[in-house]
Amino acid sequence: MAPWPMRRRMLSIGAAALVTAFAVSACGGSTGGGTKGGVPLVNAERLTTCTHLQYEPFEFNQGAKIVGFDIDIIDLVARKLGVKQDVIDIDFAAIKSGAVLNSGRCDVAAAGMTINDERSRNLEFSVPYFDATQALLAKKGSGLTSLGDVKAKHLKLGAQASTTGLQYVKGKGFDPIEFADSPKELLGMETGQADVVVQDLPVALTWLNKPEIRAKYEVIANLDTGEQYGIGMKKGNTALSKVVNEVIETAKADGTYTAIYKKWFGTEPSPAASS
- On whether residue 160 sits in a domain, the answer given is yes
Same domain (yes/no): 223, 256: no
Same domain (yes/no): 62, 83: yes
Domain extent at residue 204 = 132-227
- On whether residue 5 sits in a domain, the answer given is no
Give the whole-number percent of the chain exceeding pLDDT 70.
Answer: 87
- On whether residue 11 sits in a domain, the answer given is no
Same domain (yes/no): 75, 202: no
- Closest of 80, 98, 92, 41 to residue 233, by C-alpha: 98
Same domain (yes/no): 38, 160: no
**Contact assessment for residue 80 and residue 243, using Cβ atoms and an 8 Å cutoff:** yes
Domain count within the chain: 2
Same domain (yes/no): 236, 120: yes
Same domain (yes/no): 120, 250: yes
Q: Is pLDDT above 90 for 20?
A: no
- On whether residue 26 sits in a domain, the answer given is no
Same domain (yes/no): 163, 250: no
Same domain (yes/no): 181, 223: yes
How far lies 1's CA from each of 17, 86, 222, in Å?
21, 47, 74
Same domain (yes/no): 234, 106: yes
pTM above 0.85, yes or no: no
pLDDT score at 5: 42
- On whether residue 223 sits in a domain, the answer given is yes
Quick: pLDDT tens for 25-46. 333 334 468 888 899 999 989 9
- On whether residue 21 sits in a domain, the answer given is no
Average pLDDT of 215-219?
98
- On whether residue 60 sits in a domain, the answer given is yes
Q: Is pLDDT above 80 for 8?
A: no
Quick: pLDDT tens for 234-260. 999 999 999 999 999 999 999 999 999
pLDDT score at 28: 37
Helix (H) or strand (E) holding 131: strand 130-139
State the average pLDDT for the chain: 88
Q: CB burial class (10 A; 0-12, 13-18, 19+) of residue 197?
A: buried
Give the whole-number percent of the chain exceeding pLDDT 90.
Answer: 79
Kindly provide the residue ranges of all beta strands, DSSP E only, lying in 75-129, ordered along the sequence: 84-89, 108-109, 124-125
Same domain (yes/no): 107, 152: no
Q: How far apart are CA 177 and CA 175, in angstroms?
A: 7
Same domain (yes/no): 106, 234: yes
- On whether residue 2 sits in a domain, the answer given is no
- Give me the CATH number covering residue 79: 3.40.190.10
pLDDT score at 162: 86
How far lies 196's CA from each of 135, 152, 185, 260, in Å?
10, 13, 10, 31
Same domain (yes/no): 199, 238: no
